[in-house]
Amino acid sequence: MLDLSTLHSVVEQSYREFGQAPGGANADYIPFLANIPSDLSALAVVTANGDVISAGDIHYRFAIESISKVCTLALALEDWGAQTVQQKIGADATGMPFNSVMALELHGGKPLSPLVNAGAIASASLIKAENTEDRWNRILGMQRKLGSPQIKLSSPLNESEQSTNFHNRAIAWLLYSSGYLYCDPMEACDVYTRQCSTLLTTVELATMGATLATGGINPLSKERVLSPDNTPRILADMTMEGLYDTSGDWAYTVGLPGKSGVGGGILAVVPGVMGIAAFSPPLDDIGNSVRGQKMVASVANTLGYNLYKS
Ligand code: GLU
């Protein structure tokens, strides 16, 4: 049984110890992200019972970025089922950077993972939709159901990304040429870029993790968001590719499915128990929040949560 006062002190302690850890730099290839104050920092746990424990800049809304890939994958699984998603996108690590074109070229144009840019653009294209706005609204709807109804698009962030996303546009066309894209390529890239441009708090991110931890019921809204058959697939994908090309190191040192984004957010899931989320903008060379990784790892390690432990 989880003791709430222990949980409070572990969150406080992990935030105090690692919330301002040195090192890293804001992402600068998206101009909006380069200007976010680097000293912002927050840590939150949401349990499967709906308890919320948090520390730091918990009201600050940051860019979801790559963590949005988890939500769109969830919707693709709900729309099509696990077998189709595995066949059309894949469930393996690419072993290469998140926006690698080489990874596509080496595998006949198949993206391999829904948690790298190519696979995420393919996931966005798979969503059942009448038109672009319908596709976007369904994806935003899934972010809100998993996390919170307060999650919204940031127009300045979206404009900053849409005016610099040339590499992702190229990826969309490559996917199209190899038969792994399922709507108009520029529609898929536009919607993918919007899904990365929403803002959320660290508690809302931890709520997404808690919804995955319960097998698909959001513990705050009590709504069933995902079929229980789909959450193990999402967690498996997060284990394989959630922390870019250091996903293996994360599994080795922390042992929990995770996902990070270049906005500085990071999420880990303890199945059946909780979501643990952190935010702080400075990233390591791979694209993971330096402080976020340390804060989340500290909570998990201190509480003894590691999937590979007997
Ligand atoms: N919008 C970013 C991109 O597509 C997200 C990258 C990330 O967080 O990994 O480059």
Q: What is the mean pLDDT of each run of 10 residues along the chain (310 residues)?
A: 91 98 96 96 98 98 98 98 97 92 95 97 98 98 98 97 96 98 98 98 98 98 98 98 95 98 98 98 97 98 96
Helices marked H in 127-246 — which ranges?
132-146, 155-162, 166-177, 185-196, 202-213, 231-241
Degrees, nearest 5: CA angle 303-287-181: 110
Q: Which residues line ligand 1 (CB under 6 A)?
A: 65-66, 98-99, 117, 161, 168, 196, 261-262, 287
- What is the model's pLDDT at position 1? 60
- Fold match between domain 4-65+200-303 and domain 67-195: yes
CA–centroid distance, residue 65 to ligand 1 (Å) = 5
Tokens of 51: 């308890």
Superfamily of domain 67-195: DD-peptidase/beta-lactamase superfamily (3.40.710.10)
- What is the model's pLDDT at position 2? 78
Backbone phi and psi for residue 152, each to the nearest 5 degrees, phi listed first: -140, 160
CA–centroid distance, residue 79 to ligand 1 (Å) = 24
Domain boundaries, the chain: 4-65+200-303, 67-195
- What is the model's pLDDT at position 297? 98
Q: Can you tell me whether residue 5 is helix, strand or coil?
A: helix
Cα within 13 Å of Cα(80), Cβ side: 23
- What is the model's pLDDT at position 52? 98
Q: Which residue has the tokens 């080496």?
A: 106
Superfamily of domain 4-65+200-303: DD-peptidase/beta-lactamase superfamily (3.40.710.10)
Nearest CA to ligand 1 atom 2: 65
